[in-house]
């Protein structure tokens, strides 16, 4: 392709009568806050070229309400996280998310002990379960957009050796449902139906569409 000789150079150039033409100003990207402390969500955003300007996690009660469906729980928590953090920021994009692992109407929390992780893995063994991620985006104008993305995950039938070996890895700690699909648990999962990144913690296709559709640039401007 030929050079763009019709534009000023990156540095000031001399024009007629000795005047200097300043370089054109480049458009600035809007400010983005990630309302999550999850290193997995940050890594997923960086995977598609999005680097939040600030990370400001919300501190809310994440307990499910009586008779609350797992899908509804994921959406409510994502919304509450965003609203809690939005009070501290103005004129920015703010993104929050919450992921819930569920067997039927039962939501599985984050495994904090070996006993909890073993119970979860025993329950998930040889069966299908759902991973729901609620995503909430607040734009600089205060517009709020929400989505829930669900992925079906099918574990192989696990024997005691496999469960004990995975427990010994320590990878389960702090993970919803007691496993990490992006780690060694991948060897235990027979099939998924839907978004892989959703199981990790953030559905990238839906998030990128939410951002781009509301004025946050995902790709560099085309000529």
Catalytic site residue from 6, 61, 98, 223: 98
123: left (phi over 0), alpha (psi -120 to 50) or beta: alpha
Whether 53 is a known active-site residue: answer no
Residue 119's pLDDT is 97
DSSP 11: S
Whole-Å CA distances, 188 to 82, 146, 184? 34, 32, 8
CA distance 76 to 82: 10
Residue ranges of domains in the chain, CATH in brackets = 29-213 (3.90.950.10)
- Which ranges of the chain have pLDDT less than 70? 1-28, 220-223
Tell me: the pLDDT tens digits for 21-58?
Answer: 444 444 467 899 999 999 999 999 999 999 999 999 99
* pTM assigned to the model: 0.84
CA distance 60 to 188: 32
Tell me: the pLDDT tens digits for 102-123?
Answer: 999 999 999 999 999 999 999 9
């Amino acid at each position: 392709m030929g050079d763009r000789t019709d534009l000023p150079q990156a540095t000031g150039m001399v024009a007629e009568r000795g005047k200097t033409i300043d370089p054109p100003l480049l458009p600035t990207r809007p400010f983005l806050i990630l309302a999550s402390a999850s290193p997995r969500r940050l890594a997923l955003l960086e995977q598609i070229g999005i680097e939040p300007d600030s990370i400001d996690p919300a501190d809310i009660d994440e307990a499910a309400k009586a008779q609350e469906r797992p899908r509804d729980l994921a959406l409510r928590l994502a919304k509450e996280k965003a609203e809690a953090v939005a009070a501290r920021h103005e004129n920015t994009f703010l993104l929050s998310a919450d992921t819930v692992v569920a067997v039927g109407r039962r939501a599985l929390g984050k495994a904090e002990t070996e006993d909890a992780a073993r119970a979860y893995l025993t329950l998930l063994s040889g069966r299908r379960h759902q991973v729901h991620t609620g995503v909430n985006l607040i734009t600089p104008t205060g517009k709020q957009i929400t989505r829930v993305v669900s992925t079906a995950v099918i574990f192989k039938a696990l024997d005691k050796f496999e469960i004990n070996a995975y427990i010994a890895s320590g990878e389960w700690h702090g993970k919803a449902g007691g496993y990490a699909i992006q780690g060694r648990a991948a060897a235990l999962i027979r099939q998924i139906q839907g978004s892989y990144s959703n199981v990790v913690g953030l559905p990238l296709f839906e998030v990128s569409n939410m951002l781009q559709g509301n004025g946050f640039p995902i790709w560099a401007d085309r000529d």
